[in-house]
């Protein structure tokens, strides 16, 4: 279960994600994550969604790696979200203990 800024617990939600890929446009299709009891139980191509998230694949990759958080992308206009009360939930999904680091010199 995920907790939000408003104190709600998101046990069952459908999240629509549109990740825009400029290098490979066929990857830019939206997908919906069906979340029940805090776990992703299905990924669908279409259907109703409780919240919609839109961002470029570069920022999404950085979000997944823990380089930055959703608050920053939203503030800089690099991410759009239909319901900002989900922002803390999104951050908790991608939270990491440490940022990635490169151990090779180049």
CA distance 98 to 29: 30
With a cut of 50, say whether residue 82 has pLDDT above it. yes
| CB 43 within 8 Å of CB 62 | no
| CB 56 within 8 Å of CB 62 | no
Q: What confidence tens digit (pLDDT) does each residue in 6-57 have?
A: 444 444 577 787 888 888 888 888 888 887 776 778 888 888 888 888 999 9
With a cut of 90, say whether residue 77 has pLDDT above it. yes
Sole residue written with tokens 């629509």: 16
Domains and CATH numbers, the chain: 2-93 (3.30.1050.10)
Q: Is 23 in a helix, a strand, or coil?
A: coil
CB neighbour list of residue 37: distance below 8 Å, 6 or more residues apart: 1, 11, 12
pTM: 0.69
* Whole-number pLDDT of residue 43: 86
Averaged pLDDT of the chain: 79
* Whole-number pLDDT of residue 38: 66
């Amino acid at each position: 279960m995920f907790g939000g800024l408003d104190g709600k617990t998101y046990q069952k939600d459908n999240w629509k994600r549109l990740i825009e890929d400029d290098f490979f446009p066929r990857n830019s299709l939206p997908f919906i994550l069906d979340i029940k009891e805090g776990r992703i139980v299905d990924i669908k191509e279409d259907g109703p969604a409780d919240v919609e998230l839109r961002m470029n694949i570069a920022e999404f990759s950085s979000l997944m790696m823990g380089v930055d958080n959703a608050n920053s992308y939203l503030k800089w206009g690099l991410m759009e979200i239909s319901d900002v009360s989900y922002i803390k939930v999104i951050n908790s999904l991608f939270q990491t203990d440490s940022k990635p680091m490169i151990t090779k010199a180049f």
